[in-house]
Structure 1
Amino acid sequence: MSEKFGDEKTRRRFLKGGAVVGATALAGCTGGGGSQETTTQGSSYSVSIEPVGKVTFESVPKTWIANNGSWADMGIALGLDAPKGVWLPSRYHTHYYDEIPGVSVDGSSIQKLWGDGGVGKEQFYALNADVHVADPNFLLNRGKWDQSDIDEISTQVGPFFGNSIFSRSYPWHNYRYYTLYEAFGKLSKVFQREARFEAFSTLHDEFQSKLSSVVPSKGERPSAAVVWGSGDNPEKFYPYVIDEGTSFKHLRDLKVEDALANTDVKNFHESRGAIDFETLLKVDPQTLLIRGQEGKTRKQFRNTVVKFMENHSVASELTAVKNGDVYRAGPLYQGPITNLVVTDRLGRTLYGGDERLFDPQRVADIVNGDF
C-alpha cells in the first residue's frame, strides 16, 4: 500500500451495537484489475455498505482478505485471485469448485486468521491487503478488538468493507443485512466487475425458475432439523433455526420446512447451547440435516455419521434415521458459486431427479469473463 491513512477524517467510527457515525477511507492501491469491466481506472470511486458507510478507492484493489467463505466465494465468482486470508480456511470449502470446469482454489495458500486468541493485528500488517472484506463489528464483538484496533488497521493498512450477512441472529447486528446478491453486487463495485455480477444475477434468476418446478407443494415437503455435528460419531449438536441469513439461502430456496422453528429448542447463535439425541427425538424431524460434515463425500458421510446413528440406541429411534433421511446440510458460508452447487445437490437429494439445475460450464465462463 502506498497511502497511509493518518487523516482523522478518513477513520471510520463504529459503536458496539453497530451504528455508524462516520465512514470514509482511501484505499491507495496500485492495480487496475486488467478487465474491460474496470471503467474508472485512474480515478477514484466510492462504494457504500453498512455498517462501514462510504469507502473511497483511489484505484481497484488487487489483494484482499475475506472474513469467511461467503465473501471469498463472491470474489472467486468475480474472477479474482483467492483472498490472502480468511478467518477459518477449514470452513471455506474450496472442493465445491471441483464441480466447475477450469475453476479451482488452492485452500492451502489461504492463511488462517482466527486463532485461540481471536484475530491478531500483526496478521493484517503481514498480509498487507488492499482491502479487508469483513464486517468490523464482528471483530469488535466476536474478535474482542477495540475501536482503536479497527482505526489502526483501516488507516495503516487498508479499509474494511463488509457485513456479517451469514446469520441474522447476532444481537449486536442491529443494522441492515444484505441478501447474498445484494452483497455480491456491492463487492462487484469494489473490484469494478459489475458485468460478471450481472451475468451471475441472470443465471441465478434462471436457476430460481428451475427450482420452482422441482420443489413440491407445501404439504408434500418434509420438515427438517438443521444441526451442527462434527466428527464421525457426533452425539452433541448445535441447533440452527432457519433464518434469512445467507447460510440458509439454499434451504429457503428449496422451501425446507423448519422442524425446530416452533419448538423450545433455542437457536445456537442466541443460546450458544447444544442438544443431544434425546432432545432431537422429542422433536423427531422427518429429515435431519447435519452441518460440519462438508469435508466428507456423500459415501463417507453415510459410512460414518449415518452408520453411527443407525447403531446408536437413541439415534436409531429417530424417524429420519429409520427412513434414511439424514444428509449433509450444506456449508455455513455461501457465495454465488457455492449456493448453486449446494442448492442443486440438496434439491436432488430431497426431491429426486438426476438432471442438474444449472450449467457448470456457464458458471466457469462467467468467472473467466467469457460472457
Structure 2
Amino acid sequence: MDESESTRRAYLKYAGSVSSTALLAGCTADGGSESTDTATVEPTTEAETEQPTTTETDESYTVTMAPVGDVEFDAPPEHAMVVFSHYADMAVALGKEDTVESLYAPEFAGKPLGAFYDRLDGVSLDWEGLPDPLAEGVDKEMLYELDSDVHFVDPSYVVGTQDRWDTDDVDEIAENVAPWFGNYHSGLHDSPAEEYSDDYRYYSLWEMFEKVADVYQEQDRYEALKTVYDDAIADIETSLPPESERPTAARVTLIDDTFYAYKLNEPGFWHADTRPLGVTDAFADIDWDGTWGLFDYETMLETDPDVILHLWGMSPGYYIDDIRNQVADHPVGGQLSAIQNDRFFAGGIRFQGPIANLFQLELTAKQLYPEQFGQWPGYVPGESYPEIPADEQLFDRKRVADIIAGDL
C-alpha cells in the first residue's frame, strides 16, 4: 500500500469514528437543507435526451449529465465520494460496492439497504465506519483527504445548501481532486440553485442509473437489471385493479407529532416506488410550498387515508413498530383507519437506487393491493427484508444477484 492509500484508509477510519449518529430527523428533512427555489427548469422530453451519453476515445471516455455537462474519465473510478444512498445502491448494483467511501447517515441509510441485500446472495455494502459527508456539512478539506476519483453529488445541491460553497469552490475541487457527477433535483423536479439553472434537466431514476453505469463502464449490468425492472413494471401494470377499486393512501414521516407528507404520483425519482402503482393519493388535491406538507393528527384524521406508508420505517429511530405504536397510543391517531385496519406500513427509503427500487415496488404493491400481489407479511425492525413466496415475488432474486456478480 503506497503512502497516499495509507493516508486515505487512516482518514476513513478516523472520520467513521466521528460520523454523526444523531441525524435521524435531519435525514428525513435533509438536515434542514431545503432546496433553493430560485429557478424553474422544464423537464426534457424524450426527443431531447442527450445522445450519445458515452464517448470513448482511446482509454478515456466522456459521460454527460446535467448540470455538470460532459465529464471525462481516464478509467472507471476506484474511489467514489457518495452523499445520498441511491448512488451507493447504484454502485452495489454494478458490482462496485468497494468504491463507496462515504455515505450520509451511514447507519440510517445502511440498515434498510442491508435488509434488501440480505435477500440477494453475495450482495452487500460495508457501510459501517464510512464517514458522513454531511455530519459537519460538505467540507472541502474532507474532499481533499478522501481524494476520490468522482464525487457522486450534485454541485447545485452543494452550492444551494452549503453556506461555505460557491461555484469557485466547486471548480477548485473538480480541478484539483475529481469531477462532480450528480443530479439532486430530479428527486422532486424542484428548482436548482440559480447558478446551475441554465444547464439543468431532470432524469428518471433508471436514466440516472444508466449514466452512473457509463461512469463505471458497466453498461451490460445496467441493461440486464433494466430488463428485470421493465418486466416487473409490466407485471404491475397488467395486474392493477380498476381505479375505482384502489384505496386512498398517504406517504408520511412522523416527527414530534407532525406528519411530513409527500406526494405519491408526482414526477421525480423520490416517487419511483409509488407512482407506477397508481394509487389514489389522499393529499393529491392539497397544495403546499416546498418539499412536504405538514399535518397534525387532527388533519390526518380528517383526510383518513385507507393506507399509510411511513417513509424510513426500516431505519433505526423510525422503525415501523415504534412509530405505529406511537400513533396508535395517541387519542386521535388511534382513530385512523390505517391503524384500526392494520394498514400502517413501513414505506421504504427516499433515496432509492435500482435495487431498493425493485424491493420497494414489491413491498408497496403488496401493501396497497394484497389481493393482486399477495399479502405483505410485515417488517420486523432490524431484521432482513421478509421472505416472500417465490410465486408472489415481483422479481427474481437469483437473477438480480447473478447480474450483480457479473453473470449476465
Structure 2 residue 296 is the aligned partner of structure 1 residue 251: no
Deviations 1:217-271 (A, max 9, x none): 21111111111125xxx5222121232211211101222221112025x26516x
Change beyond 3 A, Cα 1:41–1:87: farther
Structure 2 residue 176 is the aligned partner of structure 1 residue 160: no
Residue in 2 aligned with 1:209?
A: 234
CA distance in structure 1 between the aligned counterparts of 2:363 and 2:186, rounded to whole angstroms: 20
Q: Compute the displacement of 1:348 (Å).
A: 1.8
Q: Compute the displacement of 1:287 (Å).
A: 1.3
5 Å matches for 1:348-359? 348-352=366-370, 353=374, 354=389, 355-359=392-396
8 Å contact 1:42–1:58 — kept in the other structure? no
Find the partner of 1:220 among 236, 245, 263: 245
Change beyond 3 A, Cα 1:351–1:296: farther
Structure 2 residue 295 is the aligned partner of structure 1 residue 275: yes
Find the partner of 2:90 among 74, 96, 111: 74
8 Å contact 1:46–1:56 — kept in the other structure? yes
Residue in 2 aligned with 1:341?
A: 359
Amino acid at match of 1:204: Y
Structure 2 residue 286 is the aligned partner of structure 1 residue 263: yes
- Matched residues, percent identical? 34
Residue in 2 aligned with 1:287?
A: 307
SS in 2 for 1:333: coil
Residue in 2 aligned with 1:24?
A: none
SS in 1 for 2:77: coil
Bigger Cα displacement from structure 2, 214-223 vs 197-206: 214-223
Q: Compute the displacement of 1:54 (Å).
A: 0.3
CA distance in structure 2 between the aligned counterparts of 1:359 and 1:39, rounded to whole angstroms: 33
CA distance in structure 2 between the aligned counterparts of 1:39 and 1:167, rounded to whole angstroms: 27
Change beyond 3 A, Cα 1:18–1:127: farther
Q: Compute the displacement of 1:86 (Å).
A: 2.4
8 Å contact 2:83–2:153 — kept in the other structure? yes
8 Å contact 1:39–1:192 — kept in the other structure? no
Q: Compute the displacement of 1:46 (Å).
A: 0.6
Residue in 2 aligned with 1:190?
A: 215
CA distance in structure 2 between the aligned counterparts of 1:274 and 1:205, rounded to whole angstroms: 34
Q: Compute the displacement of 1:18 (Å).
A: 9.2
Residue in 2 aligned with 1:64?
A: 80
8 Å contact 1:88–1:112 — kept in the other structure? yes
Q: Compute the displacement of 1:41 (Å).
A: 9.2
CA distance in structure 2 between the aligned counterparts of 1:201 and 1:109, rounded to whole angstroms: 31
Amino acid at match of 2:262: Y
Structure-2-length-normalised TM-score: 0.75
Change beyond 3 A, Cα 1:321–1:134: same
Residue in 2 aligned with 1:170?
A: 190
CA distance in structure 2 between the aligned counterparts of 1:45 and 1:201, rounded to whole angstroms: 23
CA distance in structure 2 between the aligned counterparts of 1:188 and 1:319, rounded to whole angstroms: 43
SS in 1 for 2:118: helix
Gaps of 5+ in 2: 5-37, 42-53, 375-388
Residue in 2 aligned with 1:301?
A: 320
Residue in 1 aligned with 2:24?
A: none
CA distance in structure 1 between the aligned counterparts of 2:285 and 2:129, rounded to whole angstroms: 43
Gaps of 5+ in 1: 2-15, 20-37
Q: Compute the displacement of 1:197 (Å).
A: 0.6
Which consecutive aligned stretches of 4+ in structure 1 deviate over 4 angstroms post-superposition?
16-19, 38-42
Structure-1-length-normalised TM-score: 0.82
Q: Compute the displacement of 1:161 (Å).
A: 0.8
SS in 1 for 2:170: helix
CA distance in structure 1 between the aligned counterparts of 2:245 and 2:84, rounded to whole angstroms: 35
Alignment RMSD (CA, Å)? 2.6
Residue in 2 aligned with 1:88?
A: 105
Residue in 2 aligned with 1:9?
A: none
Change beyond 3 A, Cα 1:226–1:311: same
Change beyond 3 A, Cα 1:338–1:41: farther
CA distance in structure 2 between the aligned counterparts of 1:139 and 1:147, rounded to whole angstroms: 9
Amino acid at match of 1:258: D
Find the partner of 2:261 among 239, 245, 249: 239
